[in-house]
Structure 1
Amino acid sequence: MGIQLNDNNAELKPKNEKQHMAVIDIGTNSTRMLIFRDDDGQLIRVNKSVRYTRMGQDVNKTGHLHPDAQKRNYEALEEFKSIAEDYAVKGFYLFGTSAMRDAQNAEDYVAFIKEKLGFDIEIIAGEEEAELGFVGVSQCFDEKILIFDIGGGSTELIYGEKNEIKKMMSINLGCVRCTEEYLISDPPTLQELERLNERIYSEFQQRTENFLPKKPYKLIGIGGTATSLSTIKQELKTYDSEMVHKSMITKAELEAMIDKLAGQTIQERKTIVGLEAKRADIILAGALLLLNILKITGEDSFMVCDYDNLEGAAYRHFMAKKNNV
């Protein structure tokens, strides 16, 4: 089983000659949809869409999904449904992650979406989120891999060998959660940065004490923080999957980016070539989370992978079942 990208363009023209399926990830920062088809066991990515819905807005403070976040997400799902109709999509799988796990009113929102749009949403555990990420990434690598996925509300770590997960964990620290709790000033003060950095390192060191595998292994980053840092490094005005996939970022390059980001206001970050404007407020926290992953692993660099839990969900919930895997 392999995965192939049809085109570098994220949103392609409809093609209805083959049966299409869709998976939708309702994340803490963004809501993403992958439309794909199964060509004799090979997953062909046809369309990948993203909307920055910030479902994690104030969830850490209130324990509830914010009404504005629910509205943004509903509008994104409504738009995705329309896009999917253009591709004659035959089946959907939707899953919610950290923000929906933590929100006390998430089930009410799930019922609302079912009533209005006919979509079923499964709220998955952090461990299952990690597993889907591994399934997506493992289609690209045969060697021992340690994957990290920095989300808006949590960070997942997954270690595997020969396409088999050996261990995984979910840590309740993500770029939206950390930004809201620690980076209050614009730009953040040195004290805010130090407090956040100390919190991340302490939490990561404590949680991974008996988790990290023996070397050698390949350290791989997936998700918006890793891919965004790659596009910033390469100064990509338009997202290019082929340029991002399997690109490398060194610890020195990451530290230089953090120094630059830390001295800029959110408005100034919005002008950075390669950075989505709606990620400008959370990219610094994401970069600090990533830097501390390099610290605890002792690695000097990591590889970016453009395949993640969307591809994993596509394979697990459609392709594997179809092929009786």
Structure 2
Amino acid sequence: MLQKAMGKQLNNKCNSNLDGSELDWIERKEKKRHLAVIDIGTNSTRMLIFRNDQGKLVRVNKSVRYTRMGQGVNQTGRLHPDAEKRNMEALEEYKNIAADYGVEAFYLFGTSAMRDADNTAAYLEAVKEKLGFEIEVISGEAEAELGFVGVSQCFEEKILIFDIGGGSTEFIYGEDNEIKRMMSINLGCVRCTEEFIFSDPPTFQELERMNEKIYAEFEKKTHGFLPTKPYKLIGIGGTATSLSTIKQELKTYCSEMVHQSTITKDELERMIDSLASKTIKERQNMVGLEAKRADIILAGAFLLLNIFKITGETVFTVCDYDNLEGAAYRHFVMENK
């Protein structure tokens, strides 16, 4: 293998505002009612600022900070103090950005790392005391459901969604905008990197062990879960979008170019060959790859490769709507209908 190796118009422009460095002054000037959701993931902490325009979700700003909350959780079962500090700083920054937009209400949720860590409750209390934020730690199934709600705004046919996160991978199958079944597997790009990759660049043996573990776990856990064909295979989250930007060699993230782009199994195998031959520093200089994702993108690519294997599909479609949009729609749009 290493030898082969929307229904709704997106509001983001093709610029660098995904890192929160540039604020949309037009939105601030219009004084419209802005809301925000924050996803505290295993690898990154993201914020979506949006407005509810008569039941339609209008995205205003999307920011990401790589806080790596999953640092060491797989080994120690606890949130690392450095990870807590990085995340607290990101949340404080997001609170200031949100104030600039006049955000009136927040919903914050934590996923895999916070589900697994024994000391999450203490961290939640620290965030509440310092910043006034309430954080809901959601189950893998709830995370999958939010992902489906986000994607279903863009596709109406039968869909099988995968979301490769830092600590877990979610699968959601739906028809006619309704979830039929979903599941969460405790394999993600941060977790797999920490467990299997120790060399830089990684050795063939390390990658082989990781690949075998992923395939065995996916095959066992998804037995009886996968739907009959035909369906559209949809990828959401940072691994899917990053592989799209690598393929397209995008110097800055462009939602309009990433959304509904496709990646074939052959293209993925070529990217794996390229990524596996490089050191982390060399990957950091690759066009289309965010430097802070350079150490975990290879594990994410192997997770995706094994999704191709277990489904028998040869191509997937990238969706730029995910659990952030799903949380926004579920907690602020649907409840007001």
Q: Which of 192, 204, 224 in structure 2 is aligned with 1:210?
A: 224
Which residue number in structure 1 is paired with residue 24 of structure 2? Answer: 13
Aligned residue identity for 1:298: G
Q: Which amino acid aligns with 1:277?
A: A
Following superposition, the deviation at residue 13 of structure 1 comes to 1.9
Counterpart Cα distance in 2 of 1:79 and 1:319 = 25
Task: Determine the C-alpha separation between the residues in 2 that align with 1:3 and 1:169.
Answer: 29
What's 2:114 paired with?
100
2:327 to 310, 313, 316: 313
Aligned to 1:316, what secondary structure does the other structure show?
A: helix
Structure 1 stretch displaced more, 41-50 or 14-23: 14-23
Q: How far off its partner does 1:2 sit?
A: 4.4
Distance in 1 (CA, whole Å) between partners of 2:54 and 2:125 is 36
Instruction: Note the C-alpha offset of 1:122.
Output: 0.2
Q: Distance in 1 between matches of 2:64 and 2:58?
A: 18
Where structure 1 has 5 or more consecutive residues not aligned to the other structure, the ranges are: none
Residue 287 of structure 1: aligned partner: 301
Q: Counterpart in 1 of 2:88? A: 74
Contact 1:55–1:73 under 8 Å retained in 2: yes
For residue 5 of structure 1, give the secondary structure of its aligned residue in structure 2: coil
**Cα displacement string for residues 183-233 of structure 1 (whole angstroms, at most 9, x for unaligned residues):** 111111111000000000000001111000000000000000000000000
Q: Deviations along 1:39-59, whole A, 9 cap, x unmatched? A: 111110000000000000000
CA contact (8 A) 1:3 1:42 kept: no
Q: Which one of the candidate residues 228, 235, 257 is aligned to 1:221?
A: 235
Q: Is the 8 A contact 2:14 2:252 kept in 1?
A: no
Of 15-24 and 193-202, more deviation after overlay is shown by: 15-24
Where does 1:272-283 land on structure 2 (aligned, <5 Å)?
A: 272-283=286-297
| TM-score of the superposed pair, with normalisation by structure 1 | 0.98
| Structure 1 position 6, deviation (Å) | 4.5
Q: How does 1:175-254 map to 2 (within 5 A)?
A: 175-254=189-268
Aligned position for 1:169: 183
1:93 and 1:177 mapped to 2: Cα distance? 26
Provide the aligned length of Structure 1 versus Structure 2. Answer: 323
Give 3-state SS (helix, strand or coil) of 2:64's partner. strand
Q: Residues 4 and 43 of structure 1 are in contact (CA less than 8 Å); yes or no, is this contact kept in structure 2?
A: no
| 1:302 match: secondary structure | strand
In the alignment, structure 1 residue 88 sits paired with structure 2 residue 94: no
Q: Equivalent residue of 2:92, what SS?
A: helix
Counterpart contact for 2:10–2:256, Cα < 8 Å: no
Distance (whole Å) between structure 1 residues aligned to residue 160 and residue 297 of structure 2 = 22
Distance across 2 between alignment mates of 1:136 and 1:287? 23
TM-score (norm 2): 0.94
> Could you list the per-position Cα deviations for residues 97-146 of structure 1 after superposition, in whole angstroms to 9, with x for gaps in the alignment?
00000000001000000000000000000000000000000000010000
Structure 1: how far apart are the matches of 2:183 and 2:52? Answer: 30
Match in the other structure for 2:58: 44
Q: Percent of aligned pairs with the same residue?
A: 75
Distance in 2 of aligned mates of 1:262 and 1:189: 8
Q: Is the 8 A contact 2:12 2:255 kept in 1?
A: no
Q: 1:8 is matched by which residue type in structure 2?
A: C
Report the 3-state secondary structure (helix = DSSP H, G, I; strand = E; otherwise coil) of the residue aligned with 1:25. strand
Query: Which whole-Å CA distance do the structure 2 matches of 1:111 and 1:2 have between them?
Result: 38
Which residue of the partner structure matches residue 256 of structure 1? 270
Equivalent position SS for 1:57: coil
Counterpart of 2:211 in 1: which secondary structure?
helix
Letter in 1 for 2:244: S
Partner of 2:69: 55
Question: 3-state DSSP class of the match of 2:229?
Answer: coil
> For 1:193 and 1:142, how far apart are their aligned partners in 2?
37
CA distance in 2, matches of 1:248, 1:321: 33
**What's the counterpart of residue 3 of structure 2?**
none
Deviating beyond 3 angstroms after TM superposition, the runs of 4 or more aligned structure 1 residues are 1-4
Cα-to-partner distance string for 1:276-312 (whole Å, 9 max, x where unaligned): 0000000000000000000000001100000000000
What secondary structure does 2:69 align onto? coil
Distance 2:8 2:258 in 1: 18
Contact kept in structure 1, 2:173 and 2:227, CA below 8 Å: yes
* 1:131 corresponds to: 145
Q: Which residue identity lines up with residue 79 of structure 1 in the other structure? A: E
In the TM superposition, residue 4 of structure 1 has moved relative to its aligned partner by: 3.4
Distance (Å, rounded) in 2 between the aligned partners of 1:266 and 1:8: 27
Amino acid at match of 1:145: I
What secondary structure does 1:4 align onto? coil
